[in-house]
């Protein structure tokens, strides 16, 4: 059911008319997200909770950037999950107001439960499209693969989606959803661009 809802939302986002003016997206920013809904699958059961995410990106030339992200989840039954990602990426315009964005890097995943903890380091690869759909509104959608494995959770492919309203060139707010076979995150974001 959730996958069908997510698929319908992605199809709707792609069907939206794209704004006709050229857009120069900013890839130097810091953003933070609060996630009132987070879920992981462990020991063949879904464990619910909440979380946060902090992310930064710094453009190093017109098409390349470096990125870092920290995600923390506080879940039921005393389970805590932390994900740290460091890497880089590039963006290439595919239309006046649409960029293709690719990322690659190292991902470190840690899950603590009671006296136990499990962690692993792997790679992540991402591909998404970033588009301006109205003068102050943009959306992003795509997929991300992570090879890090913890507990009974193997490597995973995530569907990722974001939308944001830009109040001005520096400040925006929006929402995000990450959905994988072992992890789910839904939250609200605030971004400061520089």
Report the CATH number that the domain containing residue 119 is assigned in CATH.
2.40.160.20
Predicted local confidence at residue 65, as pLDDT: 98
The two three-digit tokens of residue 150, written as one number: 């913890």
pLDDT averaged per 10 residues, the chain (length 194):
46 42 82 94 82 97 96 91 95 95 95 85 96 96 91 77 97 95 91 97
Query: What's the CA gap between 153 and 81, in Å, rounded?
Result: 12
Q: Which residue has the tokens 């997510």?
A: 6
Per the rule left: phi > 0, alpha: psi between -120 and 50, beta: everything else, 2 is: alpha
Q: Are 155 and 146 in contact (CB under 8 A)?
A: yes
Predicted local confidence at residue 107, as pLDDT: 94
Number of domains the chain is built from: 1
Predicted local confidence at residue 8, as pLDDT: 43
Predicted local confidence at residue 9, as pLDDT: 46
146: nearest Cα among 69, 63, 52: 69
| pTM of structure | 0.83
Give me the domain span that covers residue 13.
2-193
Find residue 71's DSSP bridge partners.
53, 83
């Amino acid at each position: 059911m959730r996958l069908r809802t997510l698929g319908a939302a992605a199809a709707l986002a792609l069907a939206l008319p794209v704004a006709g003016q050229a857009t120069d997206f900013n890839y130097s920013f810091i953003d933070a997200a609060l996630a009132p809904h987070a879920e992981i699958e462990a020991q063949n059961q879904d464990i619910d909770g909440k979380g946060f995410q902090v992310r930064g990106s710094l453009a190093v030339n017109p098409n390349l950037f470096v990125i870092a992200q920290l995600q923390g989840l506080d879940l039921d039954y005393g389970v805590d999950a932390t994900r740290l990602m460091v890497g880089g990426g590039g963006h290439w315009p595919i239309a006046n107001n649409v960029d293709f964005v690719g990322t690659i890097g190292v991902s470190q995943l840690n899950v603590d439960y009671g006296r136990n903890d499990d962690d692993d380091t792997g790679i992540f690869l991402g591909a998404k499209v970033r588009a301006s759909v109205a003068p102050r509104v943009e959306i992003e959608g795509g997929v991300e693969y992570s090879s890090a494995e913890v507990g009974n959770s193997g490597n995973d492919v995530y569907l990722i989606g974001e939308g944001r309203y830009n109040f001005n060139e520096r400040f925006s707010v929006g929402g995000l959803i990450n959905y994988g076979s072992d992890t789910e995150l839904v939250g609200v974001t605030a971004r400061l661009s520089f």
